[in-house]
A = this chain, B = another copy of it.
Amino acid sequence: MTTTATMSDRATPSVAPPPLNPPERLLMGPGPSNPDPRVLAAMGLNPIGHLDPYFVETMNQTMEALRNVFRTRNHHTVPISATGSAGLETIMMNLLEPGDSAIVCVIGYFGQRLAELARRAGADVRTVEVPPGEVVDPADVEKLFAERPAKLLAFVHAETTTGAYQSIPEMVEVARRYDALVAIDCVTSLGGVPLEIDALGVDAAGSCSQKCIGAPPGLGPITIGPRAMAAARARKHKPSTWYFDLALLFQYWGEDGANRTRAFHHTAPVASIYGFHEALRIILEEGLEARWDRHRTAHDTLVRGLDRLGLSLFPPEANRGPTINVINVPAGVDEAAVRRRLLGMGVEMGGGLGALAGKVWRVGVMGYNAQVPRVERFVGALDEALRAEGYSA
């Protein structure tokens, strides 16, 4: 014992944050879902320079694998170096400019976001809106086209807030009749349900890395078809974004044909691309059809489980899809308390967003988590949490 000041008395308190020790979670919310462990392992591979010949080859392989996942031969197919919303911003900022007109279908929050992106790109935007759970009738889109032309029709394939799927072929047909481009948000569908960009005739599509693709959030995979690229090239003015300017991006990722020289643009997120490459590799090893079947099987398991618990799905049956499942909160149940309890058990599900806040839960059956044992665990845990909160079927 001493009264002399010790080192620790005088030491500056450390300003460093504590080490991370995130809990283990089964991520059954609307995203992110758990990546395949192979994807996380790939992200820790040897870091290399973004202009290294090995990385340039990795970029080429990633583009080609992503084309196969989108079922497209579009050269202009890349993961944007930002998250899924940024991929959609890239599409809107390049395909639209002030003076252009766009029609946007709004079946939920993410349709509203598409409309907002189009407005910020300077376009005159008309929307077709329907109540939550419903989808747009192509005839209502046709009416707007008949009133006056639009350069672009945009809509969300799987609306993450309502669980409703908008069927694509009829929308493309209408847009084609009026010579408009078609852009889709397939954030919650790509890799989990049948989606074939070229066969459908979709001109531009944007998804994300962290749902059915099975990588962490951080990349915005997009594909841009020849008609859309021609429209981007025919712009009167450069887009106001430099970071998402397709012309600059493909000077970096490489243009098609002879011109394969790469000009520096930004520095690609090397570790994220490693993980994304591995995620695409896993998809193509499994095969898209097998993967779609697996999502359907896992979804069916979920639906049977919910049925046993006396829970119902929010959207009408005709509008449902396997990847995002929006569940009605039963009367008298504290929905936030159930989610908190479930999280305490290591299982995440999502609450409602926007108009459906407090009224629904959102359950993703996506990517690595679209496996029967994982869904069974989810249903079992939900059952426990519901009973603990006083609910019985």
Please give the residue numbers on chain A whose beta carbons come within 8 Å of chain B beta carbons, in ascending order: 14-25, 27, 29, 31-32, 34-35, 40-55, 58, 61-62, 64-65, 68, 81-86, 89, 93, 113, 116-117, 120-122, 208, 210, 216-218, 238-243, 264-272, 274-275, 277-278, 280-281, 284-285, 343, 348, 353
Query: Are A285 and B93 neighbours in the complex by a CB distance under 8 Å?
Result: no
Of the residues B25, B243, B268, contact of A217 by C-beta under 8 Å? B268
A22 to B48, CA, bound (A): 7
CB contact under 8 A between A284 and B14, given known A49-B27, A217-B269, A266-B84: yes
Is the CB–CB distance between A120 and B25 below 8 Å?
no
Query: Other than the known A22-B47, A82-B243, A84-B267, what 6 A-B pairs have Cβ atoms closer than 8 Å?
Result: A20-B274, A49-B348, A52-B343, A117-B242, A120-B240, A217-B268
Closest CB in chain B relative to A87 CB, distance in Å: 10
Contact between A19 and B81 (Cβ–Cβ < 8 Å)? no
Alpha-carbon separation in the docked complex, A353 to B262 (Å): 13
Q: Which residues of B contact A268 (CB under 8 A)?
A: 83, 217
A348 contacts which of B52, B238, B270 (Cβ < 8 Å)? B52
Chosen A-B contacts, 11 in total, with CB atoms closer than 8 Å, are A16-B281, A22-B55, A25-B48, A27-B49, A31-B267, A32-B49, A83-B266, A85-B265, A89-B241, A120-B242, A122-B240
Q: Of B113, B267, B278, which is within 8 A of A208 by CB?
A: B267
Q: Are B23 and A269 in contact (CB under 8 A)?
A: no
CB contacts (< 8 Å) of A29 on chain B: these are 49, 51
Enumerate chain B residues within 8 angstroms of A238, measured Cβ to Cβ: 120
How many copies are assembled?
A: 2
Known contacts A15-B65, A86-B82, A216-B269, A116 near B47 by CB under 8 Å: no
Set of chain B residues within 8 Å of A121, measured between Cβ atoms: 240
A34 in contact with B47 given A120-B242, A218-B269 (CB within 8 Å): yes
A241 to chain B, nearest CB (A): 6
How many Å lie between the Cα of A32 and that of B50 in the bound state?
7
* B17 adjacent to A277 (CB under 8 Å): yes
- Rounded to whole Å, the gap between the CB of A282 and the closest CB of chain B is 8
Residues of chain B within 8 A (CB-CB) of A16 are: 65, 280-281, 284-285
Q: What are the residues of chain B within 8 A of A53 when measuring CB–CB?
A: 343
Chain B residues whose C-beta falls within 8 Å of the C-beta of A93 in the assembled complex:
240-241
Q: How far is the CA of A272 from the CA of B29 in the complex (A)?
A: 20
The interface residues of chain B lying within 8 Å CB-to-CB of A68 are 15
Query: Known contacts A120-B241, A267-B210: does B23 contact A46 (CB below 8 Å)?
Result: yes
Q: What B residues does A64 contact at CB under 8 A?
A: 17
Given contacts A46-B24, A49-B25, A281-B19, contact A241 B241 (CB under 8 A): yes
Contacts of A86 in B (CB 8 A): 81-82, 243, 266
- Given A50-B217, A120-B238, check contact A271 B40 (CB 8 Å): yes
B85 touches A82 (CB 8 A): no
Residues from chain B with a CB closer than 8 A to the CB of A34 are: 47
Whole-angstrom distance between the Cβ of A24 and the nearest chain B Cβ: 5
| B22 lies within 8 A of A45 (CB) | yes
Identify the closest chain B residue to A211 (Cβ).
Answer: B267
Q: How far is the CA of A85 from the CA of B264 in the complex (A)?
A: 12
Other-chain contact of A35, B47, B65, B240, B281 (Cβ < 8 Å): B47
Contact of A272 with B218 in the complex, beta carbons under 8 Å:
yes
